[in-house]
Structures are given as C-alpha cells and as structure tokens.
Amino acid sequence: MDQSTDIRYLVIIVIAVMILLFTSFLVALIFSQRKKMKYQASMEKMRTQQKDKLIEAAVRSEESERHRIAETLHDEVGAILSSAKLHLLGIKEINLDARDKVLHEKGRELLNDVIHRVRGISHNLHSNILKEFGLNEAIRHFLKKITQGTVIEASTELDDRYITENADNDISIYRIVQELINNILKYSKASQLHISSTLSEQELTLVVFHNGEGLTQEQFEKLRYEKEGLGLKNIQNRIILLKGKINFSNGSEGYRTNIHVPVNPVEHEQDNYSDSR
C-alpha cells in the first residue's frame, strides 16, 4: 500500500468514524428523550389520577353531606314539625273564637306547607328514588315535581334499556341533570324542556333540550372558572369523575346539552378508585 492510498483510506476512516460517532450520539439522544417522555407520561398519569381522586373525594363528601342534611331534615326537623302539627291538631276548635279559628287554620296551613317543603328538600338531597327505582325514574320524578305548577312543558324520552351498573355513577349523572334543570328554571325563561337518553354499547347519551336562553360551550368554559359558577364547576367535576363529556350547543330551535357517559369503564380505572373508597 503506497502513501497516496493511505491518505485516501485515512479520509474514508475519518468520515466513517465521524458518522459512527454522530450516529451513536443521535441514538443516545433518542433513547434519553424516549426515557424522559416515558417518565413525563407516567408523571402526567399520576397527576391525573391524583386529580381524579381529589375530585372523587370532594364529590363523595358533598354527597355524604347531602345525605346527612337530608336525614337530619327528615328524621329530626320533620319529626318535630309532625309533632308540632299533632299538637296543633289537638287544640279543640270548638273552644276557639272566630279570630283564633282563623289563626289556627292559618297555622295549620303553614305547618303543612313547611312539612311538605322540608320533605321535598330532604328527598331532593337524598337519592332514595334513584337507589330504589333507578336513574330514569329518578329523572322523570324530579322533572315532574320541579316543573309542577310552572309554565314549562316538560317531557322525557329515556332509554329504558339502561340498567344501573354503578350506583355512584348514577348519582353523579342525576346530580348533573338536577343542576342543569335548576339552571334552566332559574335563568332560561324556557317554555319547553325535553330530556332524552340513548344507550349504545359504549356510552349513555343524555340530551337536555330547552327553548329558552341557554349556555354555549364557550360560555360554559368561561363560567365554570368563575366564583359564581359553583354549580357548573360541580357539573364539570362530576363529568371528570365519570370520565364522560359534556357539550353545550345551540340551534334555531333552542339550546341543547349533550352528556356522554361511558357505560363500560375500563376495569383498571375502576380499581384505581376502589382504593380510595
């Protein structure tokens, strides 16, 4: 091998070594990045799980507080009011003069009204109907009760193929519907309200439709971060808990809220929650 061949080989070797060094550097970089990405993904997953657990804890404590208040209202306040009614009924009207008779009658009416209202609040806070008769019946019952005596024409078209698999999820769906209907009654000035549901293999879709003034998705996203938007925040938290989706839209006929809830959540996701229960 002469000197000229040596130099040419040398250059080729230098190029090969540089390519090799560069390739090794690139491979090391790609591996390091992949490792970093995996770490970031696992951290993100952990953060999401923690956030979900916090939301779940908040929702559950709210639910247990509702139950406690409902039971106190029903068992204690309700019992005292019933006892007061019995005592009032024990007064012999025959001994009363005309003025006292009117007062007695008024007192009885007011007491009946209070008992009725306390029972209503207690039932609203408690989810007895939901537990005993299921989600669809609870929604129908709530809608009927809340729109009674109002100008709103309410109707339902619920898919009765839906069977409760997870009672806690049903409570969340029910509370979302309750909150939406309360908001419609408070702010929308609607004359028609329709709730429908459809069940597919993957999800339950509930649609709350009304012909009043409602929310768009943009407004919902904005309001749920505001201090006053506590109800909307609760809706969002429950949606996160259900791993579902909520979508607000409006058309020429009115406003529509679509709630999508997966009906067969992945097993391991449920396991994650079962830890905190």
Rounded CA-CA distance 190/82 in Å is 37
Q: Which of 6, 24, 27, 40 binds another protein (CB under 8 A)?
A: 40
| 230 and 238 Cβ atoms separated by less than 8 Å | no
Of 9-17, 106-114, 185-193, 197-205, the window that binds another protein (rule: CB under 8 A) is 9-17
Q: Which of 1, 2, 6, 8 binds another protein (CB under 8 A)?
A: 8
Q: Which of 36, 47, 68, 245 binds another protein (CB under 8 A)?
A: 36
Question: Is residue 26 a contact residue for another protein (CB under 8 A)?
Answer: yes
Question: Is residue 11 a contact residue for another protein (CB under 8 A)?
Answer: yes
Question: Is residue 144 a contact residue for another protein (CB under 8 A)?
Answer: no
> Which pair of structure tokens corresponds to residue 210?
């009304």
Burial of 261 (0-12, 13-18, 19+ CB in 10 A): buried
> Which pair of structure tokens corresponds to residue 275?
């830890």
Rounded CA-CA distance 246/179 in Å is 13
E strand or H helix that includes residue 220: helix 217-223
Rounded CA-CA distance 127/66 in Å is 9
State the minimum distance, in angstroms, from the CB of residue 262 to another protein: 24
Question: Is residue 33 a contact residue for another protein (CB under 8 A)?
Answer: yes
State the minimum distance, in angstroms, from the CB of residue 244 to another protein: 25
Rounded CA-CA distance 82/200 in Å is 47
Please count the residues of this chain forming the interface with another protein, following the rule CB under 8 A: 17
Question: Is residue 43 a contact residue for another protein (CB under 8 A)?
Answer: no
State the minimum distance, in angstroms, from the CB of residue 48 to another protein: 15
Report the number of secondary-structure helices (H) and strands (E) in the chain. Answer: 9, 5
Where do contacts with another protein occur on this chain (CB under 8 A)? 4, 7-8, 11, 14-15, 18-19, 22, 25-26, 29, 32-33, 36-37, 40
